[in-house]
A = this chain, B = another copy of it.
């Protein structure tokens, strides 16, 4: 049965939560007195729809139903999970919790607070045991981290169920066992933020130079290993103790201004806002969001391919989604739509179009998705068998341009134990920009010879091939280069 999440507070964070729940098949009820809330949530949801599905290799569930409610009571009544993302004011949060608990005293209430401890949130509550911190990171629909912080009054079973809920929407609940102000991650952000303000204020570096100092170096390390594992490597074979012995004494060196807080005045705000305009003002916030999301999708997919860090969260989520699928074969009565790609800046050639090898790349991605669908996935390859492409014919019918959303569909033309003949269509909306006809051969990789595919693979392939046999054969299948008009 479809579950329902109540989202109290519909800003960027609340909107991100709403998007995660909706795209994972939950119904979502939002309460926010701001008349702009539907527009704001809608914008976050549009970003999320363009981004989150790109992380999954399994179809997401059918999107849930989004509704906006006039009262907290209406939003939370009968909800399975409640997420509070109102402004960072403790009195306001207390009032919200009191209203919630009048009608939903037993429902889990996660708070997006970045600073308050759960025991502070629970003060004066009718049922403190259901209130806990579930602190996400923007963009909530892409970054897996949610810091889950209970207090001594929290119900351990409810916390475990809440963590299951977060996993079900693709997140990584990090259970923090001891409550402190600002949990963990924001303490680091705060430390760096203070130091960065000093550097700008003292004219040591601009906002852009500081960003380069992060993203050209340690930011890349931290996105995949964090602090301690990175330093473990720095210690080399001598180990972590060696690293500590080298760097420990530096702790007492006067390296940072952190003992000190810069005066937060208009002059500092203007300085930083001005530098930020010079650095990033050429992009609108919407453009920056899309650039950021594309980068994050890229990083996350790299980690997924490498089965590491945040990529493992994605794989675990796929496994959950796959289990929930009724049948591994979707609608086989039509060509299978299996890939969704966006044309990236690096794919553009000197003509301003997608460079020709990227059409084949798009087809390969589509064909790989088909192979995964029939079970010829990376585990299968690791077992020593694979489908190799023997031959391809590409017909260019249109021009893909920067930012175009492309879909890849597969039609099986014929197949037997060893051969797989497919026709792949790369389209932008209704317009086909290229077709790629391919013959794949199933091979024993060690022997370097063709051989029959595994029975499990053939068992998935055959019903699709049988269904596709009824489809009209594409006009251009079997074309050779230069044959009459296309």
In the bound complex, do residue A178 and residue B203 qualify as a contact, i.e. CB atoms below 8 Å apart?
A: yes
Q: Does A470 contact B (CB under 8 A)?
A: no
* Interface residue from B187, B230, B240 paired with A273 (Cβ < 8 Å): B240
Within 8 A of B (CB), among A237-266: 237, 239-241, 244-245, 247-256, 258-259, 261-262, 264
A50 CB to nearest B CB, Å: 15
* Bound-complex Cα distance A378 to B350 (A): 7
Q: Does A213 contact B (CB under 8 A)?
A: yes
In the bound complex, do residue A218 and residue B137 qualify as a contact, i.e. CB atoms below 8 Å apart?
A: yes
In the bound complex, do residue A187 and residue B295 qualify as a contact, i.e. CB atoms below 8 Å apart?
A: no
In the bound complex, do residue B247 and residue A193 qualify as a contact, i.e. CB atoms below 8 Å apart?
A: yes
In the bound complex, do residue B215 and residue A438 qualify as a contact, i.e. CB atoms below 8 Å apart?
A: no
In the bound complex, do residue B211 and residue A229 qualify as a contact, i.e. CB atoms below 8 Å apart?
A: yes
Q: Does A180 contact B (CB under 8 A)?
A: yes
* Number of A residues, CB within 8 Å of B: 155
In the bound complex, do residue B215 and residue A244 qualify as a contact, i.e. CB atoms below 8 Å apart?
A: no
**List of B residues within 8 angstroms of A421 by Cβ:** 481-482
Q: Does A63 contact B (CB under 8 A)?
A: no
In the bound complex, do residue A187 and residue B176 qualify as a contact, i.e. CB atoms below 8 Å apart?
A: no
In the bound complex, do residue A276 and residue B307 qualify as a contact, i.e. CB atoms below 8 Å apart?
A: no
* Interface residue from B220, B388, B389, B479 paired with A299 (Cβ < 8 Å): B220
Q: Does A130 contact B (CB under 8 A)?
A: no
Q: Mark A148-192, 1 if CB is under 8 A from B, else 0.
A: 000000000000000000000000101011101110111111111
> Quick check: which of A27-35, A283-291, A325-333, A450-458 contacts chain B, the rest being far away?
A283-291
Within 8 A of B (CB), among A357-374: 357-358, 360-361, 364
Within 8 A of B (CB), among A272-330: 272-273, 275-277, 279-280, 285, 288-289, 291-292, 294-296, 298-311, 313, 315
In the bound complex, do residue B185 and residue A217 qualify as a contact, i.e. CB atoms below 8 Å apart?
A: yes
* Interface residue from B207, B390, B438, B483 paired with A228 (Cβ < 8 Å): B207
Q: Does A232 contact B (CB under 8 A)?
A: yes
Task: Provide a sorted-by-A list of 10 A–B residue pairs whose CB atoms are within 8 angstroms.
Answer: A184-B199, A215-B225, A219-B226, A220-B296, A240-B276, A298-B305, A315-B346, A356-B392, A392-B394, A480-B483
Q: Please provide the 5 A-B residue pairs with the shortest distance between their CB atoms, ordered closest to farther.
A: A211-B226, A298-B302, A219-B222, A145-B217, A305-B346
Q: A144-B216, A211-B228, A220-B300 are in contact. List 10 more A-B contacts (CB 8 A).
A: A184-B213, A187-B256, A189-B218, A207-B228, A223-B299, A228-B272, A229-B279, A360-B394, A390-B395, A391-B393
